[in-house]
């Protein structure tokens, strides 16, 4: 078993790998104070340190030992925020915060703390991003030197974070070009330290292979029987088909929003994308419910009502709002609320168009059909589920798929939203396929098909 130090080293490597992965896949990624390690030493964050600083500065005569330490760190922080072209500003900072001179002034009791902090605040105002202007200006109202030092470091941490985020945005195209090789190399290093790190990935692919093989057997029963009669063996699935099935297994859901399982989340190669895949899954469930609501409403009210301006958009908005952030235990309750709101929209639209209101029987039928979407055996949900699966499985295929003409029937009302979800899903899958393709290839060839070579693919790029 790995030692404590080895585990810490592995943890650090996983963090670096996750950070690089997030920067590449998340175009909106920014470091936040929660995941940013300030450059101040940990001890200075403690209240006791600042209380001690206040006592030293307030003493008679003042003791500037800790203040000088902080000035040194502030100087280093300001210099770290400079760009290569800031040569003159660097010289001015070096001159204004000459630590040897500051120590001599402190020894002779002539250190001007107020003058130094004023210069520091002016320099921060010059260097900070516009978003930090208000915070830097707020520091000028602080009169307690100890409190001022404390908040200077807080704002400097934010400025440092702003610079890192700017660098991340600038370097993202370069990082994207090299991320595949970097992530693959880092994962291999982790695999060398933890040889069992692909056990769960193997099981995930084994389950996918079994599913593809079962589908082949069902679709080609006569061919399989003939091969068995002549001593042959049924055709093995292609590597690409198995991997695509594995990816689709990540979005296996039951009929009700959130009552599902993500079969692939045990795979070590997918852990960094768990949150993204969960978001995709939640969006897919929401869209499936929306499509089912629209379909049963259309069948009850007719195409004329659905053709009225803004009607479908209002129904989609109502459904989305009531499903947003829903837990699985409230699925049936939400559909009850949705059925009430849909009936209100239907009644309003019929009235505006001058059509007679729905009869009580049709109202009850519509509400019952909407609420029954939560039923596992609901036919409408089952059909929509299959069509969304078909769409997404084609969308993530290596060749890509974005045909307007071949969009599945019954999903027209959610076409734009589903295509956006498909693009997000494909982005994650494409990157995962590129990084871990060689690992998947090795598992499928050496573990899942030890006695026979599966149908080969063009290579890991298409695989």
**Closest Cα to residue 287, out of 297, 295, 298?**
295
Which helix (H) or strand (E) covers residue 341, if one does? helix 331-353
Contacts of residue 80, Cβ cutoff 8 Å, sequence gap at least 6: 39, 160
pLDDT at 418: 93
Residue found under tokens 């895949």: 277
Query: How many whole angstroms separate alpha carbon 232 and alpha carbon 234?
Result: 7
Query: How many whole angstroms separate alpha carbon 282 and alpha carbon 258?
Result: 7
Put simply, whether the predicted model's pTM sits higher than 0.85 gets the answer no
pLDDT at 388: 92
Query: How many whole angstroms separate alpha carbon 160 and alpha carbon 166?
Result: 10
The residues with which 253 forms a beta bridge, in sequence order, are 260
Query: How many whole angstroms separate alpha carbon 223 and alpha carbon 235?
Result: 9
Strand ranges (E), 200-333: none
Domain edges within the chain:
17-182, 246-304+320-328+376-448
**Closest Cα to residue 56, out of 68, 44, 46?**
68
- Give 356-371 pLDDT, tens digit per residue: 899 999 999 999 999 9
The residues with which 260 forms a beta bridge, in sequence order, are 253
Query: How many whole angstroms separate alpha carbon 45 and alpha carbon 75?
Result: 18
**Closest Cα to residue 306, out of 339, 353, 242, 360?**
353
Query: How many whole angstroms separate alpha carbon 306 and alpha carbon 300?
Result: 11
- Give 22-61 pLDDT, tens digit per residue: 766 766 666 665 544 444 444 445 677 888 889 999 998 8
Structure token digits, residue 86: 């800031």
pLDDT at 47: 73
Cβ neighbours of 414 (radius 10 Å): 20
Walking along the chain (463 residues) 10 residues at a time, the average pLDDT comes out as: 52 60 68 50 60 90 92 93 88 94 92 93 93 92 91 91 79 73 83 78 89 80 44 65 90 47 56 85 89 91 83 90 70 86 92 90 92 85 89 82 66 91 90 89 78 52 51
Cβ neighbours of 306 (radius 10 Å): 15
Residue 253 φ then ψ, to 5°: -135, 155
Structure token digits, residue 438: 């060689």
Q: Are 296 and 366 in contact (CB under 8 A)?
A: yes
């Amino acid at each position: 078993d790995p030692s404590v130090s080895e585990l810490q080293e592995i943890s650090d490597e996983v963090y670096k790998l996750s950070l690089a992965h997030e920067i590449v896949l998340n175009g909106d990624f920014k470091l936040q104070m929660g995941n940013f390690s300030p450059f101040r030493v940990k001890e200075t964050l403690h209240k006791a340190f600042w209380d001690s600083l206040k006592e030293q500065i307030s003493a008679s005569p003042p003791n500037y030992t800790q203040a000088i330490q902080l000035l040194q760190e502030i100087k280093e922080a300001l210099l770290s925020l400079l760009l290569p072209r800031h040569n003159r500003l660097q010289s001015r900072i070096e001159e204004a915060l000459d630590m040897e001179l500051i120590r001599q002034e402190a020894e002779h009791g002539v250190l001007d703390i107020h003058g130094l902090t004023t210069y520091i605040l002016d320099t921060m105002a010059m260097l900070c991003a516009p978003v930090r202007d208000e915070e830097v200006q707020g520091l000028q109202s602080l009169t307690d030197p100890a409190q001022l030092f404390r908040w200077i470091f807080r704002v400097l941490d934010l400025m440092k974070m702003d610079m890192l985020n700017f660098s991340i945005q600038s370097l993202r195209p370069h990082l994207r070009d090299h991320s595949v090789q970097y992530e693959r190399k880092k994962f291999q290093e982790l695999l060398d330290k933890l040889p069992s790190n692909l056990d769960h990935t193997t099981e995930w692919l084994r389950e996918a292979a079994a599913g593809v093989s079962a589908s082949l057997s069902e679709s080609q029963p006569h061919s399989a029987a003939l091969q068995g009669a002549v001593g042959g063996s049924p055709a093995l699935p292609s590597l690409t088909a198995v991997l695509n099935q594995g990816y689709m297994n990540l979005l296996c859901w039951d009929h009700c929003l959130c009552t599902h399982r993500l079969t692939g989340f045990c795979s070590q190669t997918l852990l960094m994308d768990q949150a993204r895949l969960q978001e995709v899954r939640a969006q897919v469930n929401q869209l499936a419910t929306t499509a089912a609501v629209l379909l049963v409403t259309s069948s009850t009210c007719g195409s004329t009502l659905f053709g009225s301006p803004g009607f479908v958009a209002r129904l989609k908005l109502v459904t989305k709002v009531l499903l947003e952030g829903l837990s699985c235990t409230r699925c049936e309750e939400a559909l009850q609320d949705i059925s009430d709101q849909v009936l209100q929209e239907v009644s309003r639209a019929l009235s505006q168009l001058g059509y007679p209101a729905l009869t009580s029987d049709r109202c009850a039928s519509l509400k019952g059909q909407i609420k029954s979407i939560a039923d596992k055996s609901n036919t409408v949900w089952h059909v929509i589920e299959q069509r969304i699966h078909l769409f997404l499985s084609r969308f993530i295929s290596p060749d890509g798929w974005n045909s307007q003409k071949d969009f599945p029937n019954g999903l027209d009302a959610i076409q734009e939203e589903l295509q956006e979800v498909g693009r997000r899903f494909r982005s994650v899958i494409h990157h995962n396929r590129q990084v871990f393709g060689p690992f998947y290839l090795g598992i499928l060839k050496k573990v899942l098909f030890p006695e026979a070579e599966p149908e080969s693919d063009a290579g890991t790029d298409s695989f």
